[in-house]
Amino acid sequence: MINIPKGTKDVLPEESFRWHYVERLARETAGQYCLKEIRTPTFEHTELFLRGVGETTDVVNKEMYTFLDKAERSITLKPEGTAGVARSYIENGLHNGAMPLKMYYITPVFRYENPQKGRLREHHQFGVEIYGGNGADTDAEVISLAHTLLTRLGLSVGLHLNSMGCPTCRGGYNEALRAYFSDKLEKLCPTCRVRYEKNPLRILDCKEEGCKALCKDAPKITEYLCEDCKAHFEKLKPLLDDIGISYEVDPYIVRGLDYYTRTVFEFVTTALGSQGTVCGGGRYDNLISSLGGQPTPGVGFGMGIERILMLMDESGVVIPPEEPVALYVATMGEEAYRRGFSLVTKLRAEGVKAELDHAGRGVKAQFKYADKIGAVYVVALGENEISSGVCVLKDMATGVGKEVAIDRLAEEILQSRAEGKGERG
Ligand SMILES: [Zn+2]
Ligand SMILES: [Zn+2]
């Protein structure tokens, strides 16, 4: 037997409706905020992520699925959603259209992580990108979208907010960090010693307990922001207040990717017993230019769908079941089966979710199967029903039967559904 690769998961037929629910709400909410979907390939040239995500990040250094294709090109399965969208934006000249450009995506992402931590190597993300909005209002819009969606999904979350400044203020901050860590170098993990030289900000992101403890009293970026970055951050706060989103400023949020500038944020669950980030994002004003496009501000977020489903479970959120099978047509004999087969085809064309036997079962077994798949109604077709053109529509929940002309079955079922019956699940 061949098993599923480590760190991946099947979504089985009985659980896919839960995914549809989250994806539908995500699409609906994004639509109400006037975003359109963009779909980019599952793999890109490795160079895109080296330049876009940053060569000093964990994602690029340790976690990418990179391989040579048959023509010896270095290809990488996308480890996050933003770089591909940025590439597409530049390549397709999307700045020539209506700006700001508001987009969302639902995509698999791949990271070679240790699955023991409950992290998957393939997971799925709902992400949002807005290009061409310079002001803090665009940051507020993106945060509002995430907040609305998480609330609709039944999750209680808190917003943690920070500004990472721009390259101007980052210079002073990096110096302050180097000064702070200079007498702690020996206590830092080997990776952080490299970070100390290359990009000391990343030390704040380290998952090692020893490094985490050393970061507790590190200088705060919020104290090193230049005038423009400070003004941007101060404009964002009242906008969030106005729409009733409370937040906590956390000066140590730096996010795991190099492209962030100014606003960064995380939504964290406040549900009892579970901690952790549900959604993370921020502003990336230099990403497009670093990939060779015209300087264009960007802001967005990503949320992991598996994680959201897990938290919905833990929070006891009840996901509405999918539409039940409206009618099961049981048949007796070959002629009845053929009549049943065309009946089911016709009913489906008329919008009725209908089913019949595909396993050569007897009538009794067909009724059992109808019950197992949760059919709302069942009719049995035999010689009598075919010659009279009338059948008995049996309500499986109550056991009550009603005589209905076979030709009027669709009408009858659609009518009863409109009246709110058939909510079996
Ligand atoms: Zn700045
Ligand atoms: Zn470290």
pLDDT digits (tens, 9 = 90+) for 186-244: 999 998 999 899 889 889 888 889 999 999 899 999 999 999 999 999 999 999 999 99
Considering every ligand atom, which ligand is closest to the CA of 58? 2
Instruction: Indicate which ligand has the atom closest to the C-alpha of 214.
Output: 2
**What tokens does 121 get?**
């190597």
Helix (H/G/I), strand (E/B), else coil: 21 = helix
**Two structure tokens written together for 226:** 């230049």
Q: Which ligand is nearest to the CA of 184?
A: 2
What percent of the chain is predicted at pLDDT more than 90? 81
Q: Which residues partner with 129 through β-bridges?
A: 103, 300
Backbone angles phi, psi at 142, to 5 degrees: -65, -40
Q: Locate 249 and state its tokens.
A: 């400023």
Residue 425's pLDDT band (cuts 50, 70, 90): very low
Strand order in the sheet with 122-131: 36-37, 101-110, 122-131, 298-304, 277-283, 261-269, 157-163, 247-249
Instruction: Name the burial class of residue 358, with classes exposed (0-12), middle (13-18) and buried (19+) by CB atoms within 10 angstroms of its CB.
Output: exposed
Protein residues near ligand 2, an ion, with CB under 5 A = 189, 192, 206, 208, 211
CATH architecture of the domain with residue range 327-418: 3-Layer(aba) Sandwich (3.40)
Contact (Cβ atoms closer than 8 angstroms) between residue 355 and residue 329: yes
Nearest ligand to the C-alpha atom of residue 286: 1
Q: How far is the CA of 114 from the centre of ligand 2 (A)?
A: 17
10: pLDDT strictly greater than 70? yes
Q: How far is the CA of 163 from the centre of ligand 2 (A)?
A: 22
Residues 6+ apart with CB under 8 A from 306: 9, 120, 123, 124
- pTM assigned to the model: 0.91
Chain centroid to CA 78: 15
Q: What is the distance in A from the centroid of ligand 1 to the CA of 259?
A: 14
Burial grade of 406 (CB within 10 A; 0-12, 13-18, 19 or more): buried
Burial class (CB in 10 A: 0-12, 13-18, 19+), 213: exposed
Confidence of residue 59 (pLDDT cuts 50, 70, 90): confident
Which listed ligand is nearest to 206 at the C-alpha?
2
Q: What's the gap in Å between 349 CA and the centre of ligand 1?
A: 60
Average pLDDT, the chain: 92
Q: Where are the alpha helices (DSSP H) in 265-333?
A: 287-290, 305-314
Distance (Å) of CA 50 to CA 69, 120, 165, 411: 18, 22, 22, 59
Q: CA 134: distance to chain centroid?
A: 25
Whether residue 321 has pLDDT greater than 60: yes
Query: Across residues 150-170, what is the average pLDDT?
Result: 93
Determine the distance separating the centroid of ligand 2 and the alpha carbon of 212, expressed in angstroms. 7
Ligand 1 centre from 134 Cα, in Å?
A: 14
Ligand 1 center to 229 CA (angstroms): 4
CB 161 within 8 A of CB 267: no
Residue 274 binned pLDDT confidence (cut-offs 50, 70, 90): low
Q: What is the dihedral of CA 196, 46, 257, 102, to 10 degrees?
A: 160
257 burial level (CB within 10 Å; 0-12, 13-18, 19+): buried
Name which of 303, 218, 204 is nearest 255 in CA terms.
204
Q: Find the mean pLDDT for residues 273-300.
A: 90
Ligand nearest to the CA of residue 190, numbered in listed order: 2
Q: Do residues 87 and 57 touch, judged by C-beta distance below 8 A? A: no
Closest ligand by atom to 211 CA: 2
**How many A from CA of 256 to the centre of ligand 2?**
13
b (16+ CB within 10 A) / e for 234-251: eebeebbeeeebebeebb
Ligand nearest the Cα of residue 283 is 1
Provide the percentage of residues in the chain whose pLDDT is more than 70: 96
CA 183 / ligand 2 centre spacing (Å):
15
Q: Identity (one letter) of the amino acid at 249?
A: V
| Cα distances (Å, whole numbers) of residue 299 to 80, 151, 337 | 15, 21, 58
Query: What are 351's two structure tokens?
Result: 């919008």
How remote is the CA of residue 252 from the centroid of ligand 2, in Å?
15
Domain with CATH 3.40.50.800 in the chain: 327-418
CA of 61 to the centre of ligand 2 (A): 14
Query: So what's the pLDDT on residue 114?
Result: 83
Listing DSSP states for 102-138 in one string gives EEEEEEEEE----GGGT--SEEEEEEEEEES--SHHH
d(CA 319, CA 309): 10
Instruction: Compute the distance from residue 224 Cα to the ligand 1 centre, in Å.
Output: 8
How many angstroms does the Cα of residue 263 sit away from the middle of ligand 1?
A: 11
How many angstroms does the Cα of residue 276 sit away from the middle of ligand 1? 29
Rounded to the nearest angstrom, the distance between the alpha carbon of 186 and the centre of ligand 2 is 11
| Proximal ligand: closest to the CA of 261 | 1
As a CATH number, domain 16-166+226-314 is 3.30.930.10
Q: Which ligand is nearest to the CA of 195?
A: 2
Residue 270 has pLDDT above 70, yes or no: yes
Tell me how far the alpha carbon of residue 211 lies from the centroid of ligand 2, in angstroms.
Answer: 5
All CATH 3.30.930.10 domain ranges of the chain, comma separated, are 16-166+226-314
CA of 36 to the centre of ligand 1 (A): 31
Name which of 136-145, 199-208, 310-319 the model is least confident about. 199-208
For the CA of 233, the nearest ligand: 1
Cα(230) to centroid(ligand 1), Å: 7
Q: How far is the CA of 206 from the centre of ligand 2 (A)?
A: 5
pLDDT of residue 421: 63
Closest CA to 396 of 415, 413, 382, 418: 413
